[in-house]
Amino acid sequence: MARKMLEIELKVRVNSLDPIRQNLENRHAEFRGKQHEHDIYYNAPHRDFGSTDEALRVRYTDSHALVTYKGKKLREYGLKAREELNTAVESGEVFEQILARLGFTKTAEVNKWRENYRLGNTSFALDLVDGLGTFVEIEIIAQNDDADATNQIQRYAKEMGICGEPILASYLELIQSTR
Three-class secondary structure of residue 49 per DSSP: helix
- At residue 138's C-alpha, the angle toward residues 133 and 140, to 5°, is 145
Q: Which candidate, 53, 158, 25, 174, places its Cα nearest to that of 111? A: 174
Whole-angstrom distance, CA of residue 70 vs CA of residue 73: 8
Whole-angstrom distance, CA of residue 15 vs CA of residue 171: 17
Told to judge if 156 belongs to the known catalytic residues of this protein, a careful annotator would answer no
11 by Cβ neighbours in 10 Å (0-12 / 13-18 / 19+) ranks as buried
Which are the catalytic amino acids?
A: 41
